[in-house]
Chains A and B, each alone.
Chain A
Amino acid sequence: MTFSGPTRALLRLFTALVLLFVYAPLALVVLNSFNTSRTFEWPPPGLTTRWWSAALESDGARNAIVVSLEVALIATAIALVLGTMAALALQRFRFFGRDTVSLLIILPIALPGVVTGIALANAFLTMFGIQLGMLTLVVSHATFCIVTVFNNAIARLRRLGGNLEEASMDLGAGTFRTFWSVTLPMMRSALLAGGLLSFALSFDEIIVTTFTAGQGIQTLPIWIYQNLFRPNQAPVVNVVAAALIVLSVVPIWISQKLAGTDESVAAAR
């Protein structure tokens, strides 16, 4: 018993209220996906499944989801590699300016997206002379995804300390072998958590995407942005959003299972 009864009751009440605050708009989204009014009239004049069947047939939405999945997967993969390397380097080697480097890594997420967006777009176009497209988009996403992996990885490394690795080295394993058989398995759940968050960040990112994707690439948020404003398409967008809310439980649930209760902390971040 950590808190007195009244305190617990109060906390429970607050939690319920906050959850209500969180879910009321989402409920509205789901409700509107059945709303016969194309402009989401309140209260709904009638209910229909028309938008759901329209959404199922929409090639545009499907293609956009595929593009978003691709971008998120590649960006996350890059972030996992680079983020882990950065975490190892910072944890293992003390060097001048270590704090500065760790500050640098969090910058892409600590600075507003609109700044990151125009800075990267400007760099791609003028410094490197690359046309905006898939490549620039993935690179931009990876830039801010590294942070999430890095944070999870370094937190884990701090908690682990270096004893097991030293033992491994003492027993004659090389650096690579040690990393592969000792360090990596211990970091697995932290990387999973970081990777998942990075995936989610990339999947719903719109601001940096707007500036760095160019016209040809349509990720899901961009598709939503363009279609939300077409009167016949707005309800379809609501359907896609409602479906995503439901489907999102799956990856989160799986990761929770994989990571175990103890790691829910890390997963949460």
Chain B
Amino acid sequence: MRRTTMARVATGAVLALALVGCGTSSGDDDGGGGGGNTGSEEQGGFTAPDIPMAESLGDNEGSLSVLAWPGYAEDGSTDKSVDWVTPFEKETGCQVEVKYFGTSDEAVSLMKSGQYDVVSASGDASLRLIAGGDVAPVNTDLIDNYADVWPFLKDRDWNSVGGQMYGVPHGYGANLLMYNTDVVDPAPTSWSAVFDDAGTYSGKVTAYDSPIYIADAALYLMNTQPDLGIKDPYALDADQLAAAVDLLKAQRDNVGEYWSDYLKETQAFKTGDSVVGTTWQVIANLAQSEGAKVEAFLPDEGSTGWSDTWMVSSKTEHPNCAYAWMNHIISPEANAAVAEWFGEAPANEKACDLTSKGFCESYHAGDEAYAEKIHYWTTPIEQCLDGRTDVTCTTYQDWTQAWTEIKG
């Protein structure tokens, strides 16, 4: 889990390539020629390669090769009761081989090999796969369970092009603000609790240990300092990044420790070593079940988060098994199981009937207004994602170095 979510953002993933729609070769010249004027070519502007879409389904081929984030395709080897691969094999006769990947980069390069039939892609990989011609459009009419997917997850800019879906939405989640209800009084209402007002609980503030956390600061600045002109927390020019860095450096003085896995954060909140900071819903639930006095919520100014999509390879030799898998993984049963194991909101409405009591409520599954407040993780690149063409934006490498400086 830790690996997963860290890695989800921890990649030099190049959305630019997807936006521009050309291969890595553009990176070999001066680096500007290929992607100089992305503004006009961005989302919706780029045409996806012409890949045929499955029109009908036939007999299952008997095998399927799955490329997944760790935790997305469990076959019972981690925990006997956590298994949604074996039922699929029994039901469809498709023998599944699972390979896990650690970063979006790795997923993209492995998909290029053409050895995998389906992949679970995050926002920073999906468009690259589409533009690279590595994944095929998905005929959602052939996937019975698609009808039950929350409408607000369909036809979004990270999983479709011009109204054509390229996969099936799988699950999503938000980064929340968690606080200790015994210690933090009054209850916080805004991210200012960890930024401008962090000094109140100096030494007991916690933050996510990853360069992508800079986006949380940028999001806060977007609301509190409109003069900076931040429109997208993942598109920061040098000045905007500097402002976010300053904010985080000030926060650093009050940070007790940064967290990166949920055992660490749960322990810290349980013992009181941390009392306020970012979290995931799954951590908040775990901490509460362990008896920690904590609450977690999504502040009104919005938050960062993630959203994943299952896609099918354009070179697949097992299209029927691949479609069967996509249908299976968003089936109420499997989707509910994945969501609970991984700790995110399921994409299928009916999954909520099968999850444990209160699960979907606690994850705000299906709450559209809630989902709209999430700014999904995307890899920052030189071409500003907010469409600005007059400046160069800072890249994930810049963010990584900045993160080192922030921690000092």
Contact = CB atoms under 8 A, between A and B. Distances in A.
Tell me if chains A and B make direct contact, with any CB pair below 8 A: yes
Interface of A: 37-41, 54, 57-60, 63, 215-216, 225-234
Interface residues of B, number: 25
Interface of B: 1-3, 70, 76-80, 99-102, 106, 261-264, 266-267, 270, 282, 286, 290-291
Contact of A59 (B77, B99, B290): B77
Contacts of A57: 80
A48 to B, nearest CB: 14
B102 A215 contact: yes
B270 A41 contact: yes
13 contacts: A38-B290, A39-B263, A39-B270, A41-B270, A41-B291, A59-B78, A60-B77, A215-B100, A226-B70, A229-B1, A229-B262, A230-B1, A233-B78
Contacts, number: 60
Contacts of A234: 263
B338 to A, nearest CB: 14
Nearest to A216: B99
Given A58-B78, A60-B78, A229-B262, A39 B290 contact: yes
B3 A226 contact: yes
A111 B79 CA distance: 38
B261 A215 contact: no
Contacts of B1: 229-230
Interface centre among A39, A41, A59, A231 (most CB of B within 10 A): A39
Nearest to B67: A215
A8 to B, nearest CB: 42
A231 B2 CA distance: 11
B102 A233 contact: no
A41 B77 contact: no
Contacts of A37: 290
A215 B263 contact: no
A231 B261 CA distance: 10
Contact of B79 (A39, A40, A229, A233): A233
B6 to A, nearest CB: 10
B286 to A, nearest CB: 5
Contacts of A40: 267
A225 to B, nearest CB: 8
Given A37-B290, A215-B99, A229 B261 contact: yes
B372 to A, nearest CB: 29
A38 B286 contact: yes
Q: Which 8 A-B pairs have the closest CB atoms?
A: A229-B261, A229-B2, A59-B77, A60-B77, A60-B78, A231-B286, A39-B266, A39-B267
B101 A58 contact: no
Nearest to B287: A39
Nearest to B268: A39
Given A228-B263, A231-B266, A215 B101 contact: yes
Contacts of A225: 3
